Structure 1
Amino acid sequence: MLYRYNDFLESMIFQFKEGRDIALRPVFFHEVMQELNDKFRQYAIVLMPSSKEKMLERGFLPVREMLQACKLEIIEPFYKTSNHKQSLQNMQNRALISQVIQRRSDVSLPQKPLLLVDDVCTSGSTILCAYQKLLPHTYKIEALVLAAHPLFVESCDEKGLLKRMRFSIL
């Protein structure tokens, strides 16, 4: 986690994603890009999926764009079966994310550690789902999110997420 999700960051991400303000792409990971490239040089980045509808609407994949200056291999082994936005779901429906996120059979995983990357972590359900679907992968799996919602940060210990999966903090 690089930042705690707040009103300012929410408006920046919204402007970038929904306002299609692609000029903002370098600002999100800019301050840590060199460290990201150095610290995780042996890793491949795994992006969390966007729905096909959102991708077509925006014309780009937000996290891929944010990581344009990244030198690491970037793969997209997941897809969404529906336009399911986690932040709009209640806690019960967030648990259903494993039915929405599916593993693509046409994308093979590289034989190296994986770094799961997403822009916003609200409940941890998306990252945890991806992690569980990648468990047969025998290499190390870590996660990095641009911003985590304060409620997620506060509840990490209660849910035991940090014990089940290492969240990287640069």
Structure 2
Amino acid sequence: MKSLTTLIALAFGVSQVAALAIPRSMASGPVAEEAVPTYDKRSMASGPVAEEAVPTYDKRSMASGPVAEEAVPTYDKRSMASGPVAEEAVPTYDKRSMASGPVAEEAVPTYDKRSMASGPVAEEAVPTYDKRSMASGPVAEEAVPTYDKRSMASGPVAEEAVPTYDKRSMASGPVAEEAVPTYDRK
């Protein structure tokens, strides 16, 4: 009986040690909260843990919610950011071509891949929009002045592009009609 008691005591002790050895990445609730100081896999953290883990949060690209918002200052993979994080990440947002919504709009000033832009971003990007041939809608309309590939233009853009439309032979619809005066007819 005494040995049985000893075994039970040992088993209890082992269980306690095992509890302390639980991979913190799987922790939740109060345990996760206390585990923050040495929480090695914070990228999997959620709730209160993730929030407090921000200071040394190595994998912020996976962060979401409050953590992502506070992680912005040293957020290395902002291209994956979304929501509030993406918005604040604009200043040093390296992969703006993947941006969307509010981020894309603010990213225009240094938006390297505007050819992929759409919506409000594309509209504001016109001034330095290098690949206007891919433009559409409002962007295409404003891009006419320096629109290098007007032969691909259509709709309102094509109509306004007529004056300096180099490849009118490819024009169709309203463009072709207005282009007649200087239409080479080859």
TM-score by length of 2: 0.22
RCO higher in 1 or 2 (8 Å CA, sep ≥ 6)?
Answer: 1
TM-score by length of 1: 0.23
Larger Cα-atom Rg: 2
Q: Which one has the bigger helix percentage? A: 2
Q: Which one has the bigger strand percentage? A: 1
